[in-house]
Amino acid sequence: MPTPRWRLRWVILTGCFALIGLAAGIAWLAFPHWTFRIATGPLRSDSQRLMMAFARSVAETQPRTRFRIVPQPDGTASAQALNRGEVELAIVRSDVPASPQVRSIAIVQRDVVALLVPPYAHIETVGGLAKKTIGIVQASAGDEAILDLILNHYRVPLQTVQRLPLALGEVGQVIARKRVAAVVAIGPVGPGLLAEVISAMSKAAKGAPELVPIDAAEVIAQHTPALDDIEMPAGAFGGTPPLPGESVTTLAVTWQLVARATLSKPAAGEIARLLFTSRAHLVQAFPQVNSLEAPDTDPSAAFPVHPGAAAYFDGGHTSMFDQMRERFEGIFYLGAMLLSLLGSVYAWLRKTWRGPGADKDGAHMQRLLAMFHEVPTASSADLVALEQEVHTMVAWSLECVAQEAMAAEQFQVFSQAVMQVRYALAQRREHLHHTPALQVGPEP
């Protein structure tokens, strides 16, 4: 018995859904979708606001890449979140202890160490800080460690120096009361913490503070990978007269966007590319974005550069657009192969749809053609046998139609062939008996 047609429909539908699923899977794998979590400073901090703006900018231009901000209490907490695998990226200061597997994507901000002396203190060198009280603005363990490092290098006994942690709003008060001989603040050159501290000191002391140079900054930085030596240009903080009056050598720490070394090279390179290409969109709201820098390529740096980011800065990174184009070309050739496979599957399904009677149908058609050629020379006995054979074929075709194993167009072609053979049989019978015979015309 031929296979019922409804079963074949299920076979074809299942095959089509399988091919659609395969194509969707290939497309999903070919065009990457990335979501990165970034640990930043606390809410409303500079790093958090900058990364939020960056995430929004990327969401508007790169729908396949998403950045999710994860605020942390400070840089140390951000580094710990990265080490634990809770985030893929983090904003971390270069002097914060981190895993040896941390790699840098970009330098987001460079903060200088400013030793500010009010007009009444008359201190010109680091050595003059001995036996003095020093205010440390927004003091953290890292800030005090940097101060101790500087004092140690200049052989200033640490036990002789008093430290007074200060909030930004307390700077003016302690200067007005002359409670400190100097103030240490770490922040960016330009708008930011240092500019606000200098403004508060100038108002309280009725005169601009002086910046004490750290002449040994280069030597200190050579022995401390977390620090860099930097030349602060004259007039960096403006004012009249400009502050500083001449260039000043000091130390700097960097805030860096870092990732684990296990982050793939294409992903790291794409993050670096997006960060630097977004700069033009962010600069009006965040002028500090102009301070973005490529990471230090020195292997001894606090955070070695990630190979993927290095490839971007060296011009060897392939952007996501180029990756998608290359993958599309691969998909095009793969699609051609799939179409060829689909054609083969379709041919098989079509044959299956027609059922096991399809081969017999072809044999019957061949037999009808042979009978059509045999009829002109057939005897009366042969005509009877041929007529019986045709009858058997007609019964078979009707059964196939009833079982939906033969398509309507196939049955029509088969019927036309049967009619031609029967007409030939009638003509041959008339010729043999030499008597009029009813001409058999085409069946309706």
- Farthest CA pair distance, the chain: 145
Residues 377 and 312 both lie in one domain: no
Q: Give the pLDDT confidence score for residue 306 in this predicted structure.
A: 94
The stretch 345-351 carries a mean pLDDT of 56
- Helix count and strand count (H, E) for the chain: 14, 10
Residues 212 and 310 both lie in one domain: yes
Helices (H), 278-434: 279-282, 307-313, 320-354, 357-374, 380-402, 408-433
Residues 310 and 363 both lie in one domain: no
For 158-172, 290-304, 427-441, which range has the lowest pLDDT when averaged over its residues? 427-441
Amino acid (one-letter) located at 389? E
Number of structural domains the chain divides into: 2
Residues 160 and 290 both lie in one domain: yes
Residues 369 and 253 both lie in one domain: no
Place of tokens 């019978």: 429
Place of tokens 């009829």: 375
Q: Give the pLDDT confidence score for residue 286 in this predicted structure.
A: 79
pLDDT in tens, 389-440: 888 888 888 888 777 677 777 778 888 888 888 888 888 888 887 645 444 4
Residues 286 and 411 both lie in one domain: no
**Beta strands per DSSP E along 82-124:** 89-93, 102-117
Distance of alpha carbon 310 from alpha carbon 268, whole angstroms:
9
Distance of alpha carbon 184 from alpha carbon 135, whole angstroms:
6
Residues 196 and 275 both lie in one domain: yes
Distance of alpha carbon 45 from alpha carbon 71, whole angstroms:
9
Q: Which residues contact 263 (CB under 8 A, 6 or more apart)?
A: 88, 103, 306, 308
Q: Which residues contact 220 (CB under 8 A, 6 or more apart)?
A: 149, 150, 153, 214, 227, 229, 251
Domain containing residue 375: 356-433
Residues 364 and 309 both lie in one domain: no
Q: Nearest to residue 215, comparing CAs of 122, 121, 125?
A: 125
Residues 368 and 309 both lie in one domain: no
Report the predicted TM-score, pTM, of the whole model to 2 decimal places. Answer: 0.66
Please give the DSSP secondary-structure letter assigned to residue 180.
-
Q: Give the pLDDT confidence score for residue 42 in this predicted structure.
A: 74
Residues 311 and 164 both lie in one domain: yes
**How many CB atoms are located within 10 Å of the residue 289 CB?**
21
Residues 270 and 379 both lie in one domain: no
pLDDT in tens, 6-61: 555 566 666 666 666 665 555 555 555 788 999 998 766 777 888 888 988 888 88
Q: Give the pLDDT confidence score for residue 444 in this predicted structure.
A: 39
Q: Give the pLDDT confidence score for residue 362 in this predicted structure.
A: 72
**Contact present, 383 and 425 (Cβ < 8 Å):** yes
Decide if pLDDT at 354 tops 60: no
Q: Give the pLDDT confidence score for residue 257 in this predicted structure.
A: 95
**How many CB atoms are located within 10 Å of the residue 66 CB?**
14
Q: Nearest to residue 34, comparing CAs of 71, 82, 81, 68?
A: 68
Residues 169 and 259 both lie in one domain: yes
CATH assignment at residue 205: 3.40.190.10
Which of 253, 288, 317 is a domain's end point? 317
